[in-house]
Structure 1
């Protein structure tokens, strides 16, 4: 404002003196020259004051418009520094400031989502490890130490099984973390492959178990070239097949079907389960550590991570995953874009 005022005053002074110099060389009465100089001075003074006032008002408005979002950014940054997550800042323009605020809002939302996810994982892990695997191990080991029970091969086998379940749970958590944190990199490792071959390979890994349990099965997979992360798709197939075998009831075969539906390739696995799945559970069955029957142990019910891992992998392929339940007949399906 000082610079603008100084500039206006210097310009007015220059105009005034130039005009006075020119008028002195003109044949004019002395009184008229004095009147002209006085009028010119008044006009220039009024013009200068008007320019300074209008310029100051415009400067104040534009500066406030520029500073306001900066102040909001500073306040929001301070809240993040304190461990809090502010509400998104309103964006009113598409200029550089608007773009900066938009990026800041996205960064804040991403940080908050990551923090919520970390807290949920830590909470879920604490619960899963504490009840019942570690509780069982601690109970049996304490009893063995105090001599309340005697060790025998059956007990040692039980402790070994519990330890293996803990190891499997940790491995599944590593898989889930891998697809959470490095998903963009992993999904970028795609290859063109006949997906019917992947279906066959996935079933081959379970063929010995299917034969051992005398579980009939049918396979019908159409050939189709797709671009996928091979290990990811095999992981999804393995998780769904494992669930079908785990809950299988001796009533009809497990049907594995692969078909082209519009612009996607749909893979479905259908089998008779041991119980009906309520509608409320259908919405949550793909969540982490979720079990339909909460009373089941991990020996039968699993860790509740298989479907969550499958959902993460399928969504990273821009596909969809879901289930259809009709009484005890359950169909789990997922799609991959062609």
Structure 2
């Protein structure tokens, strides 16, 4: 019986809520009206000067007016309640529709509410979530497209040369094998960097990152030592101006940032001046800068240079083994330290900065 009644009720939440509230309004109005009617009749009966006929007319008239006003109250209250509830429920309906559209890849925002109540906040957070999901999806497609583009060239080269060697069209020699090894190493490097990016992306969802007190100066000196051979081979001199400081750091992460920035400075070095590395205490931050000479970088490129797979000179980057991931990894690591990283360029002189807080 209860199941049949439940199935016969409308499925719309708004209609069901309105029916329930109308029932309560009607019951409350009926009880209140009867109480007023009985109280008035009792008071009239207590007045001996009022004639019996007049008492009956008064009771009948009062009863009629009570029913009339009760009916008007129920109707007006029900209409007001319906539209007030509808206004409250509409954003929920839109969110349900938007959620359904998410399943087919459409990102619809809910109409914004001017109110700052709980529903207004819910709508605002839902729209922010939808926008973030849309951006993540676009970013995912872009990364996949960039990955396909980056892997296609070295794989095509490897397949072409290997096919030629197999058929005997190309004869193997030291230079060819060195070129094939270079392409293979570049593929390996990209895969390793993608793994690093994935690890740092996972760290963004963890509340705690392991840090330890470490000397920034020592890390910088160790980073320079690691590139001594490359610096000597390229005939590049490095000068340092470092203030000693100890910070809470993810040591391997900061080492990787320094390595990426130094490697970037060496690969794209063009000029005769030295590479200058500075470390200084600035308020609540420790700032590191690496300044070197290189090809000109436009303002639009400066804004994109920390994006994944972005390179200012694709052809040159391929010959030097660049993948466009090093600076993106550095950005992830620095931001995990609640710091920031940026580029300042003055013609052919470029300075990469990053700041790490002392807390």
Query: Do Structure 1 and Structure 2 share a fold, with TM-score over 0.5?
Result: yes
1:322/1:333 contact within 8 Å kept: yes
Residue 102, structure 1, aligned to residue 124, structure 2 = yes
Question: Are residues 3 and 335 of structure 1, via their aligned partners in 2, closer, same or farther at CA, if it must alter by over 3 Å?
Answer: closer
1:40 aligns with 2:51: no
Question: Conserved in 1, the CA contact under 8 Å of 2:293 and 2:350?
Answer: yes
Residue aligned with 1:91, SS: coil
Whole-Å Cα distance in 1 between the matches of residues 346 and 151 of structure 2? 34
The alignment partner of 2:206 has SS state of helix
Q: How does 1:236-315 map to 2 (within 5 A)?
A: 236-249=257-270, 251-273=272-294, 275-300=295-320, 302-315=322-335
Give the ranges of 4+ consecutive aligned residues of structure 1 lying more than 4 Å apart after TM superposition: 21-26
Deviation at 1:156, TM superposition (A): 2.3
Question: Which residue number corresponds to residue 162 of structure 2?
Answer: 141
CA distance change for structure 1 residues 93 and 30 in 2, over 3 Å: closer, same or farther?
same
Correspondence for 2:98: 76
What residue number does 1:330 align with? 350
Distance 1:15 1:215 in 2: 100
Q: Give the CA RMSD over aligned residues.
A: 2.4
Q: Please report the TM-score for the alignment, with normalisation by the length of structure 2.
A: 0.84
**Is contact 2:91–2:110 with CA below 8 Å preserved after alignment?**
no
Q: CA deviation at 1:250?
A: 6.0
Could you tell me which residue of structure 1 aligns to residue 11 of structure 2? none
Shift of 1:17: 4.5
Distance across 2 between alignment mates of 1:324 and 1:17: 86
- Offset at residue 249 of structure 1 (A): 4.1
For the 8 Å contact 1:187–1:228, the answer to whether it is kept is: no
> Is residue 155 of structure 2 the alignment partner of residue 124 of structure 1?
no
Matched, 1:111 2:128: no
SS in 2 for 1:112: helix
Range that drifts further, 157-166 or 306-315: 306-315
Q: Which moved more, 1:298-307 or 1:93-102?
A: 93-102
Does the 8 A contact of 1:186 with 1:229 survive in 2? no
Deviates more, 1:143-152 or 1:208-217: 208-217
Task: Quote the residue 2:9 is aligned against.
Answer: none
In the aligned structure 2, how far is the partner of 1:269 from the partner of 1:3? 74
Tell me the CA shift for residue 267 of structure 1: 0.9
CA drift at 1:171: 0.9
Q: What corresponds to 2:13 in structure 1?
A: none
Quickly say closer, same or farther: Cα 1:330–1:97, change in 2 above 3 A.
closer
Report the counterpart of residue 317 of structure 1 in structure 2. Answer: 337
**Residue 163 of structure 1: aligned partner:** 184
CA distance, structure 1, for counterparts of residue 172 and residue 207 of structure 2: 46
Query: Structure 2: 5+ residue runs without aligned partners?
Result: 1-21
Normalised by the size of structure 1, how large is the TM-score?
0.89
